[in-house]
Amino acid sequence: MKIKKPNIGIVLFLLIGVVPFAAAFIYALLYSFGVIGVANNGFTLQFWESVLASGTFFKSFGYSFIIAFVAVTSSVGGALWITLKFRKQLEKQFLSFIIYLPLAIPGIVTGFFTFQLFSKGGFFARISYKLGLITKASEFPDLVNDGLAFGIILSFITMIMPFFVLLFLNVYKNERVEELSVLAQSLGADANQITRKVFLPILIQKTWVLIVLYFIFLLGAYEVPLILGQESPQMLSVLIIQEIKQYDLDKISEGYVVAVLYTLIVSAAAIVLFLPKRKRVYAN
């Protein structure tokens, strides 16, 4: 029996993308209810009640949400401004090459680099000491492992802003925003009106799906928060891994509870965000 190419693609997608994810989710779900696990004795709601009562998950989720939101909005805003102001300069070969470089740097390297620059024993602390701005390392402000997550947000912006700049440049060309701007100008629109009525709506409308996906990606980021985050609260991925790796066997099940809750919330958000758009596409 001959299998059509589209069916092969769907089968590969299910085998590579869906089946491992579903198996991992079912394993975490069973572990969270005590059905499986070294020290578990059968179905129980004990671990769910413990996690929900402690409030650790909600605090960590809120902390991760704020960091991801600030990083994405700052990156998108900065990328829009760079695209609007420096579009022609970025089309030159050297600058277009430079802007690709941050995309090739792994997140863990960006995290270590930020730590070396902004920690109390790092590059800027030493420069401040040499300039007489501080007399000892403890006087340098907390810019990594801090409560405001300055180092995490800065690393995230460094990682994703170049991507959005390249994305907006391509959308600008493909959607012929330049021609539309000239047309709007000929009809009497000023620069601010062109930006608000032409530039921003087109670029945001064409890229909002990727913006949301990057927000979800940052929400579950691990390497950078592990290096630059504080002890409490922690971002979700760091919290989950630390709970699962603890010697207290009850904490392992609670770690899986956090993982299941996070998966359910992100999956529900993705369905709510993307399903209506899909219906409209089919309707057209």
Give the pLDDT confidence of 110-146 residue by residue, as tens digits: 999 999 999 988 999 999 999 999 898 889 998 998 8
Contact 229, 235 (CB under 8 A): yes
Helix residue spans in 91-121 (DSSP H): 93-98, 107-118
Structure confidence at residue 101 as a pLDDT band (50, 70, 90):
confident
Phi-psi region of 166 (alpha: psi -120 to 50; beta: other; left: phi over 0): alpha
**pLDDT confidence of residue 7:** 79
Render pLDDT for 33-84 as a digit per residue (tens, 0 to 9): 989 887 788 888 989 999 899 888 899 999 999 999 999 999 999 999 999 8
pTM for the model stands at: 0.85
d(CA 263, CA 181): 43
Helix residue spans in the chain (DSSP H): 5-13, 19-32, 46-54, 56-90, 93-98, 107-118, 123-130, 150-174, 177-186, 191-194, 200-219, 223-228, 236-244, 249-283
Q: How far is CA 274 from the centre of its chain?
A: 17
Highest mean pLDDT of the ranges 13-27, 58-72, 173-187: 58-72
**What tokens does 105 get?**
């740097």
pLDDT at 94 over 90: no
pLDDT at 277 over 70: no
**What tokens does 9 get?**
């693609």
pLDDT at 4 over 70: no
Q: State the chain's mean pLDDT as an integer.
A: 87
Structure confidence at residue 150 as a pLDDT band (50, 70, 90):
very high
Contact 123, 97 (CB under 8 A): no
